[in-house]
A and B are shown apart, each in its own frame.
Chain A
């Protein structure tokens, strides 16, 4: 089991309140991603759950037991760190066995579990090497191996992929998702990368300055962002925001339209602009359009190839039912 409940949890460093009272429930077996810009308190929140930081107020419950004052080891959680945090003086085998050794498990059981984890994560071929002799991806796998052997009630991941190169990151992302499918254990995952959040999460928690902006499934957040911040943070490229008269026509202070919900044409459309940069990805073309009189720059996603160059005139038309409306406080107008 791995149900984690945060009840009015606060964290202060000296006089600075990094996390104002916060409530959150993570259900058993859920894959929850904390996402937000750097400094939003997502890592601090994870460390509070882990017990590596003490809460300044409120209560943390794990499986309905009060864990607020429990040391990390007693919480039954396993953590994977950004820097992997492997023990450099121990072989891969000893690294993975370490938590079991600390739990005073007998050697036969330790061997069985380590071998099993090694097989699951394809670590067999370098089980006797030291971490220093491994590549980044291999190290990450060892760190995950060290977490799974304990059969914890939940896994905590602190930006585990940010030290890997782009190709490896996609691979590991899939592996972690598969691991979650297989183990069905609660996972709490911190990242600043909204693509990771969207692709992996059952539930995303968007944070800004220690405050939860919205909690929901990836598609809920995509389709019905509660405010401008979430609307701008979720989705890539970023949502276009338009203020002023055009927004007023829609009865809003600000309207938002995602790049993929705009159509571009060289001949006709609602809004006229000039192409500043066009990025050709093959599968898609991203146009950055200036001089629309709406916003400084508008981004448009066009499927396939779209043959325009810098300086060309282009017409944009939004899909009427995909326009998001926000009031002057930035909150969504239903």
Chain B
């Protein structure tokens, strides 16, 4: 017998889902609203939700005080660069783990994942010293490498699961057809894994974009991305909530818009293989 879902249950589920969704979204909404308030209204008690004097003043001030475009450029280079570099490294790694696994493959995958459980600050000191030695402090390419390494376990894991779904016989057919390993990966595996690779790229761009610990610690002025841009507006006294909110909105807007337009791809990629 098919399971029956009553209209009441459906309505209840829908309400609950919306409630959770709004709860998660509320801080972002509040930040965006606050960015349009004056500093006074931003800290008013009780807080004002919608009925305040909408102003663009904060955006103007933030724009005047700091070079948004430079931060944005750095963010784009660091997020996209680290992700693409990660893909280049992870595709062959995931290929070998998915198609020529050894007894230790599972252990290696778990070990890679375990590095994500290490508090980042635990390796801050050695990495900081390495950066000084290599002259990479406040350098965008240094950050590209660090963020690539930070997200590599996730990229490898995601690609590994997608590659697992590709029948090995197709790759064997390519081998019989005379494809070298490079051609096999380039012409057969990669095009077949495009949906998976695309969502891996999307997710990792978002992760790298939002990464704050390393970007704040390893940059100063030249290579600072949007996370540093936000941080520069937070004052210990908490006096400039509206400007901080405006800066935050400007920093998250690009990734929010990208996420919105690619949500279908993202969801499809993340559930790839779950349903055949």
Contacts and interface: CB of A to CB of B under 8 A. Distances in A.
Interface of A: 50, 52, 71-73, 77-79, 81-83, 85-89, 98-99, 102-103, 146, 150
A78 B170 contact: no
B172 A73 contact: no
A208 to B, nearest CB: 25
A85 B180 contact: no
Contacts of B183: 102
Contact of A73 (B170, B177, B187): B177
Contacts of B172: 52, 72, 79, 81, 85
B273 to A, nearest CB: 15
A88 B195 CA distance: 14
Contacts of A72: 172, 175-176
A72 B177 CA distance: 8
19 contacts: A73-B175, A78-B177, A79-B176, A81-B169, A85-B170, A85-B173, A86-B170, A86-B173, A87-B170, A87-B174, A87-B188, A88-B170, A89-B192, A98-B179, A99-B177, A102-B179, A102-B183, A103-B178, A150-B177
A73 B167 contact: no
B265 to A, nearest CB: 17
Contact of B167 (A52, A83, A99): A83
A47 to B, nearest CB: 8
B191 interface: yes
Contacts of B179: 73, 98, 102
Interface in B139-192: 167, 169-170, 172-180, 183, 187-188, 191-192
A193 B184 CA distance: 33
Contacts of A52: 172, 175-176
B189 to A, nearest CB: 10
Contact of B176 (A73, A89, A103): A73
Contacts of A50: 176
A77 B177 CA distance: 9
Nearest to A149: B177
Contact of A89 (B167, B178, B191): B191
A188 to B, nearest CB: 13
Contacts, number: 60
B267 to A, nearest CB: 22
Contacts of A99: 176-178
Contacts of B187: 98
Contact of A102 (B167, B178, B191): B178
A101 to B, nearest CB: 8
Given A85-B170, A98-B174, 5 more contacts: A73-B176, A73-B179, A77-B176, A81-B172, A150-B177
A98 B180 CA distance: 12
Top 6 A-B residue pairs of the complex, sorted by shortest distance between their CB atoms: A99-B177, A85-B173, A102-B178, A73-B178, A85-B169, A79-B176
Contacts of B176: 50, 52, 72-73, 77-79, 99
A72 B194 CA distance: 26
Contacts of B192: 87-89
A220 B181 CA distance: 44
A71 B177 CA distance: 11
A83 B169 contact: yes
A206 B211 CA distance: 63
Contacts of A83: 167, 169
Contacts of B180: 73, 102
Contacts of B188: 87
Nearest to B172: A52
Contacts of B177: 73, 78, 98-99, 102, 146, 150
A79 B176 CA distance: 7
A82 B173 CA distance: 11
Interface in B189-207: 191-192, 194
- Among B170, B176, B180, B183, residue most surrounded by chain A Cβ atoms (within 10 Å): B176
Nearest to A77: B176
A71 B178 CA distance: 9
B248 to A, nearest CB: 41
A79 B173 contact: yes
Nearest to B193: A89
A271 B257 CA distance: 86
Contacts of A98: 174, 177, 179, 187
Contact of A85 (B167, B191, B194): B167
A83 B171 CA distance: 12
Contacts of B167: 83, 85
A98 B192 CA distance: 15
Contacts of A81: 169, 172-173
A98 B173 CA distance: 10
A113 to B, nearest CB: 14
Nearest to B173: A85
A99 B183 CA distance: 11
Contacts of A77: 176
A151 B244 CA distance: 70
A323 B170 CA distance: 48
A71 B41 CA distance: 73
Contacts of A85: 167, 169-170, 172-173
- Among B169, B177, B191, B192, residue most surrounded by chain A Cβ atoms (within 10 Å): B177
A71 B174 CA distance: 12
B12 to A, nearest CB: 40
A144 to B, nearest CB: 12
